[in-house]
Structure 1
């Protein structure tokens, strides 16, 4: 920013620290009563006294208001998104408890960047693509490296078994066997591959488990597939998430243990004896073989 000001206006810019007492901007940003504001009105209009003097007598204190930890956080490395040509600071996924919150916060960052760059793009789609690509770089780095440049590299098992490929956005997808289906869109025919143990995968499973109204593993898996995602060893991954769902634990818990089973009733275990007691007197009265067969057939189906 300093270079841009110097280039556009030929003004030398230096950042120094001014204490709160001498900084009129702090009065508004930190809040104060109307009485104190009236008392400090001259400072608001004219600034501190030393600003009217020679530059040599100005405040020369360095920016010491930030701690070492805060300065390290500000100077932390950033991730570069080549598709959108923006640099986004590291977003810690573990700080978010749901997928919707994570996408909302990330989309706000993209919305702000789009506004600065004066371009019309959907920030939600940008946020989803960024999060998926970040997850795949962390969890599926070997598969991604092979798909980017397969020369001189052995094919990973997932690439071979799931027929993986890179779509135009650089996202790893699995080419399924329903490519000729007219009932399913491109996202379901070629689902996005997720890392089994990544935190983003956990948030996605959690989201679709809630959408399926907590109906269990099979329904959650079906919702994930219809959402356009593919999880390797999905059964175990879903079990790990569903097993920690408090709502499922609450409604599936029983108030008392099931009692031990008792002996079956006598007519159920002695069925053949009861049939013989009833059928033998009847058979003894019949002489025709066809009638005897009909009689046995009748008693067996009673």
Structure 2
């Protein structure tokens, strides 16, 4: 940083960053760090970080870096000293990184500008890692080994790499030192499981001998959290902070979830026991208190939940005693295979990946490489479907492992579900959508590899799908080294499959012959048989006469006007009953129609003859009863169309306005969803009219039809008479 003397230069935009110390006692180098708060808002209400972009992630994730190291015989770990402070920023941006500082208490507080990338600003990680990557690109020809490590094996400022022999590892270390020094960086805290690789390094540049290991922390803000490597024994261990629970201590959902969230296991090596904790977490979210409501964050757990958690929590300290071999490959391995196991239970599903290597003496070594799991959804799924989810999970896990260690391995997939094997072997289109979607994800990943059936008792993924306590996990050889038969020759592996279970039938896409059934009622089918409304009324009147059987003999041959009117009422009553059943039911009880009813705006009422009519303020007018309270019919019913066609023909092919005005005085068709039948029917009637004019030899149909639309059906006689005045009598027949 540089001291700023205020010379009164106008136009300089300056922002002061607050800062505070952070003490980290377990650090082997810098125990006191200064952290700058670039998220603190300035006087204008905007912080520096709000005006900056984060930048993309250009480094690989921690899982991939550690996976590669587990495949190498020799491991190298180092740290870039004060990486951010070795990278200068544009001088024009320095005023935005101003601070107030004094070196001694008796000094005056003065203004300084930070000239380098500052920890606490949003783009600082990207700027630092991008600078290292550019250095690797520029120096790739001179330092090829180091350039590849900088591109792939650096996590923030930690170098985590390795090699398979001492000579390559030594050359790699020398290239890393030389290349980073050429860019102004210095590597420190070197550590390796091979002492020969570190023989030329000064003692002050080595990891301190009294340290317990080199810690890889995912988040430096979380203390004593992460995976720890012990170079001397070349093993990995965990360093969880497990506080004892007092017998009288109240356990809440907040307390338990905070403990579960503190488990950091990037490789899933403790997946079999963390599954149990995540299942318990799901129970907490589903638990209810005595009032039937969800547990609050600070509400005490129920007795059953508290007892289960205390049993599990007492064993968590055992996880820190685990010592896991860092390297999973035998020395001078002649062949390496990858075996992926999957399984599921009603509570969770998961998969685990093992590395099987054989040395020149035919000695086989099997070690757990990585694992992953997911808790089953609360919505109940069949066990075969969960098994399929486990198979997809392990396939995707292998895809991630491939990105880290490369694809050049013989790979075998194992599951104890015969349903899953049959689903994967067939085309996705054979199965229902749920299964087809997951099979289509599995097949492209595993198409070059083989799926096998494994007995359930020798499936290590069974442990991660059910969850076990830490006490069971520590010495469980099935979890750490896989099934015993995996160390034997291939002909000793499980062969064949069990009988096909019924789950395959569940997933098969079934072809069904669908027959269309007309669900319209009797009245709809009865009315649809007629093309004339007049004929419909006359036939119905005869049917009602036969039903009554009370008509005098002298009147049996002729239908009266009263009978036709009663027939019309009978038809309309039945159509209304079929269409407006719920509305009629409520009206008969003296209630108003539902607020969701299509009749709610018309104040409907039931007349004395049982016909549903429109109410309103015309009750005391001098208009006829049918005009004051028109009957209601559904807009899209066959009866409504038949009535409209009847009046259209009687009005001599009347225009739309005349037709609706006439019909609305008698029976207004009720409009459903704002759309009635008149528009579509009018097009048909226009075709009807055009055909009639063509038959009569009338030209210019479009103009004649427009005239018809404007003046109504009475103008038809005038139009026709202009051409053939002697044929007017035919119009009535038409």
TM-score by length of 2: 0.21
Larger Cα Rg: Structure 1 or Structure 2? Answer: 2
Higher strand proportion: 2
State the structure with bigger RCO (CA 8 A, min sep 6), 1 or 2.
1
TM-score by length of 1: 0.48
